[in-house]
Structure 1
């Protein structure tokens, strides 16, 4: 299978991860940690209850964002930075985040697309509905545009950033998982994107996909549908 080459440089300690299950960036980091075979100490921060503003967490991360990791005193936030650090530090090789400048730049490009384009467009269309508002048609079209981009890109490639799965696939899949669970948009109408979504799911199944990625997406879907229907 694709990840047998990644057994990690097994750390003798557990890495703290400040995590919230409904958060796509949180799930992408935790699933990567499991893929690399790392020991984890999960510290749940319920952002719906404002736990990210508690003084004890602000001492760890003054920006009060999740995910955040504490690797034996080395504290790091921002999911894209964490993903790269974990591969560089613990990956047996660099296939999940290539050291080659051009290949690595493509991974960064897709990660930045995920955090600066896909995630904000997801938030603009779904959080408004969760708060009882309406969604601007322009915001709907912008999200569909993001789906079109990914669908067209995947005409030429099985993965988002090269010939192998990378952390970009894990990160973008995580956001799309929330979108699928919410049920407003049908990703199956984007055939290349949907095939990739299922391919990624299958590749990650042996590393805790169901209990990390699927469970978190389902939790978001439940909250979303409950609030919208109310």
Structure 2
């Protein structure tokens, strides 16, 4: 049975899983969840994920939610190169250190800036809340400073000298805002 990947590539965590699956040539069946139509809120999808979010994978009847858990699982269960999630406990701990930090820093601050600056105004057809935009822009810049001056201070990747799942998650969070900004500037 093929791995089933339920997601929407507008979601940063879904993009990280998508890149990982492609980079490692892991066969999968993509099940697009149209969040603009509320498919993630449907009774059918709620049976798969009562949290009503993407991503979700189903692997031979085993269902797993949450991107970090999914990426760790895929590293353990599929034949991928060790650098993605090293088996050496100290190297793995460095990856885990970033993964734990990123939820309340990279993910939170970049996503909230994106939401208040672009997504909420787009969905509600109203101007951005400038107070919230300013606050989350400040927080996002602090995060980006930490990534540059702490996480990437002495290494080319977030947790060492080789790419890991931490880099996929970090890159997808950061590029969301920059990609959207470049699209706006291209059409302006």
Match of 2:178 among 180, 191, 216: 180
SS at match of 1:32: helix
Match of 1:134 among 116, 129, 143: 129
Q: Is the 8 A contact 1:88 1:94 kept in 2?
A: no
Structure 1 Cα separation of the partners of residues 109 and 80 of structure 2: 35
Query: Which residue is 2:103 aligned to?
Result: 115
Q: Is the 8 A contact 2:114 2:176 kept in 1?
A: no
**1:150 maps to 2:150:** no
Query: Which residue is 1:40 aligned to?
Result: 28
The alignment of Structure 1 onto Structure 2 pairs a total of residues equal to 177
Q: What 5-or-longer segments of structure 1 have no aligned partner?
A: 1-12, 185-220
Structure 2 Cα separation of the partners of residues 149 and 131 of structure 1: 27
Structure 1 residue 94 displacement after superposition: 2.1
Q: Which moved more, 1:161-170 or 1:115-124?
A: 115-124
Structure 2 Cα separation of the partners of residues 37 and 128 of structure 1: 36
Normalised to the residue count of structure 1, the TM-score between the two structures is 0.71
SS at match of 1:76: strand
Structure 1 residue 93 displacement after superposition: 4.1
Q: Is the 8 A contact 1:14 1:38 kept in 2?
A: no
Q: For residues 146 and 39 of structure 1, do their structure 2 counterparts lie closer, same or farther at Cα, with a shift above 3 Å needed?
A: same
Normalised to the residue count of structure 2, the TM-score between the two structures is 0.86
Q: What does the per-residue CA deviation read over 1:160-215, in whole Å, with 9 as the maximum and x for residues that have no partner?
A: 1122110111111111121111218xxxxxxxxxxxxxxxxxxxxxxxxxxxxxxx
Q: What 5-or-longer segments of structure 2 have no aligned partner?
A: 122-127
Structure 1 Cα separation of the partners of residues 148 and 79 of structure 2: 29
4+ residue runs of structure 1 moved beyond 4 angstroms?
none
Match of 2:163 among 158, 162, 165: 165
Structure 1 residue 89 displacement after superposition: 0.7
Q: Is the 8 A contact 1:67 1:79 kept in 2?
A: yes
Structure 2 Cα separation of the partners of residues 26 and 92 of structure 1: 19
Query: Which residue is 2:94 aligned to?
Result: 106
**C-alpha RMSD of matched pairs (Å):** 2.0
